[in-house]
């Protein structure tokens, strides 16, 4: 399996894969910048956490299985369940608790592997937020495809 980028897509900046933000300046995003420079079967991405109090980011590789598990993660959230994505013990994990401590979802980013830091950001999400995340996933899948073959 190798990564193929759609040549008809114009050059652009990072694509949002996950974008959770509110009007108070709280945000957790996963942005895909393109094929990973070290691993031809992965995408280069970055988790970005922003709030009026804290800012940080962590680079990561997104593999085909991560994109599949993101769809499952979004299905769980749409069903009203709390969920975790990327929690495989080898990199950052994102956990969403729909009924957080501030009357809105808590988005937790845990980087136990590299920085050993966990950040919880309350994010007041709009009603259609899960659908918007599905659109981000579809855009990334349309731009970058994993195909069988060499590479």
Would you state the pLDDT for residue 10? 53
What string of pLDDT tens digits covers the 151 residues of the chain?
445 555 555 557 899 999 999 999 999 999 999 999 999 899 999 999 999 999 999 999 999 999 999 999 999 999 999 999 998 777 899 999 999 999 999 999 998 888 889 999 999 999 999 999 999 999 999 999 876 554 4
Would you state the pLDDT for residue 88? 78
**Which region holds residue 107: left if phi is over 0, alpha if psi is between -120 and 50, else beta?**
beta
Would you state the pLDDT for residue 5? 58
**Topology of 2-147 in CATH?**
Transcriptional Co-activator pc4; Chain A (2.30.31)
Would you state the pLDDT for residue 151? 46
Q: CA of 147: how far to CAs of 2, 15, 40, 82, in Å?
A: 5, 20, 11, 32
Would you state the pLDDT for residue 114? 83
Q: Which two tokens stand for residue 71?
A: 């769809």
Nearest to 15 by CA among 105, 135, 96: 135
Would you state the pLDDT for residue 147? 61
């Amino acid at each position: 399996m190798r990564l193929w980028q759609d040549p008809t897509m114009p050059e652009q900046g990072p694509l949002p894969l996950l974008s959770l933000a509110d009007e108070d300046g709280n945000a957790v995003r996963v942005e895909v910048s393109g094929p990973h420079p070290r691993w031809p079967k992965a995408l280069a991405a970055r988790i970005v956490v922003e709030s009026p109090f804290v800012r940080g980011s962590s680079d990561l590789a997104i593999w085909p299985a991560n994109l599949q598990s993101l769809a499952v993660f979004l299905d769980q959230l749409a069903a009203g369940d709390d969920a975790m994505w990327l929690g495989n013990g080898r990199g950052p994990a994102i956990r969403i608790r729909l009924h957080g401590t501030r009357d809105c979802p808590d988005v937790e980013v845990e980087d136990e592997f590299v920085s050993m830091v966990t950040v919880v950001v309350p994010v007041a999400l709009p009603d259609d937020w899960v659908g918007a995340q599905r659109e981000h996933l579809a855009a990334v899948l349309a731009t970058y495809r994993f195909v069988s073959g060499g590479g």
